[in-house]
Amino acid sequence: MPRWTFGAAALSLAQGDLTRADADAIVNAANSGLLGGGGVDGAIHRAAGPELLAACRRIVAEIGSLPAGQAVLTPGFALPARHVIHTVGPIWRGGTAGEPELLRSAYAQCLRLAHEHGLARIAFPAISCGAYGYPLPLAAPLALCALRAGLEAGLVRQAAMLLRGEPAYDFWRGEALRLFGPPDIL
């Protein structure tokens, strides 16, 4: 698992199941209603148990739907991670509807929320890169740079990108190598 160090913090990339991550929090690439669904969102809801859906419904009853680029926190319930940070990434509409700013904000808000709650280790999926159609060549460098900025600011001690499948992992690893150079730890 390659790892890059930024100040006192580290970024790692791995293939894996986000629902099994050894982290203080995992990030859910949620829909604005926080009601579960397909992909990462559905997997997290299934693994956490019905209490997660109930907690999400309480949040939506209080604040309404969660806008793209924002994040909220719930307990992790049956997950190994103590918390789930739910964020809504932008739906890709060709890049002219503020998608880069919203995607950057989604990563930044997750890191900020983790920091506010004293969470040191956070694991991310590739937000918006599934059903929301954000092109990997545009999403990966933006996400990696947002994570680096948060790590350099001391928001968390460790951030991990957990990617599904070898092609996704190889792509993100290639982007990290291009942006950051060789990892400190392989």
Q: In what order do the strands lie in the sheet with 158-163?
A: 3-6, 9-15, 158-163, 121-124, 25-29, 83-87, 71-75
Task: Determine the Cα–Cα distance for residues 162 and 173; give it in Å rounded to an integer.
Answer: 11
Given a contact cutoff of 8 angstroms between Cβ atoms, the answer to whether 151 and 10 are in contact is: yes
Q: Judge whether 170 counts as a catalytic residue.
A: no
Selected catalytic residue, list 17, 24, 41, 170: 41
∠166-171-102 over CA atoms, to 5°?
A: 120
Burial per residue of 48-68, b for 16 or more beta-carbon CB atoms within 10 angstroms, e otherwise: beeebbebbeebbeeeeebeb
List residues with catalytic annotation. Answer: 41
